[in-house]
Structure 1
Amino acid sequence: MKLLWSFMVVMILLLQVRLWVGEGSFAQVWSLNEAISDQRAENAELAARNELLYAEVRNLRSEQGAIEERARMNLGLIRQNETFFLVVEN
């Protein structure tokens, strides 16, 4: 009888060790859940950024004025018969 009880105690201890430390343990599951939530947050930020970029592309494709505005801001476009004023801050 003592042999059976000893065997059962050893088996229970082995199962407990696997539950807390081994592969698929609570610690590993908790770590993976944290990694998933971090990745979802990062994906949400990137999706918002991508949506802004898509909106800008749609705007540039649909309106000629948007292209001209970008050229004026980034490339310094000046049309003929326009006066250019450069404001220099101190």
Structure 2
Amino acid sequence: MRLVTVVLIALLVLVQYPLWWGSGGWLRVHDLQQQLANQLQKNADAKDRNDRLAGEVDDLQHGTAAVEERARYELGMIKQDEVFVQFVSPAEQMKLPQNTQSDLSTRGVMSTTPLSVVPEPPARGRAQTKRLADEAARRKDAVEKRRSRHD
């Protein structure tokens, strides 16, 4: 009887080994499930990125707003008769490199380095803001009148 018990236990161990540690065992199945979950997440991330890129391509092909935005922010371009003003805090102003004569040259090279830095303006009241806006509008009208006389 003792021999039969030992043989049965040995057979049970031999049957259990491939179930747990074999090529199709539970541990291998668990590892494959983890790999599958990771790959599905990577695929979902790639699909989201592809959708964003497809939308961006569509905007660039069919709309002018996306092209203008890229030209402004990535290439530093501005429209004709437009003035670029950048407000920086005093701490950031200290970090900017000093302009050299080569930075100011515009022959064939476009530099995104500002020619001058304007410190952040003080807060204004509504009346002062309206007065300044009216003054700017008058100046713009005067410039347009001078241009129309020269044309």
Q: Provide the C-alpha distance between the structure 2 equivalents of 1:83 and 1:21, rounded to a whole number of angstroms.
A: 72
Q: Provide the C-alpha distance between the structure 2 equivalents of 1:82 and 1:67, rounded to a whole number of angstroms.
A: 17
Kindly indicate which of the two structures has a greater share of residues assigned to helix.
1
Looking at both structures, which has the greater relative contact order when contacts are Cα pairs under 8 Å and sequence separation is at least 6? 2
Residue in 1 that maps onto 2:74:
74
Structure 2 gaps, min length 5: 91-151
Aligned residues: 90
The percentage of aligned residue pairs carrying the same residue is 36
Residue in 2 that maps onto 1:23:
23
Structure 1 gaps, min length 5: none
Q: Which amino acid aligns with 1:44?
A: A
Residue in 1 that maps onto 2:134:
none
Alignment of 1:1-90 (within 5 A): 9-90=9-90
Bigger Rg, structure 1 or 2 = 2
- Taking structure 2 as the reference length, the TM-score comes to 0.51
- Taking structure 1 as the reference length, the TM-score comes to 0.81
Alignment deviations for residues 11-40 of structure 1 (CA, whole Å, 9 cap, x no partner): 332111111111111011011101101111
Q: Which runs of 4+ in 1 moved over 4 A?
A: 1-9
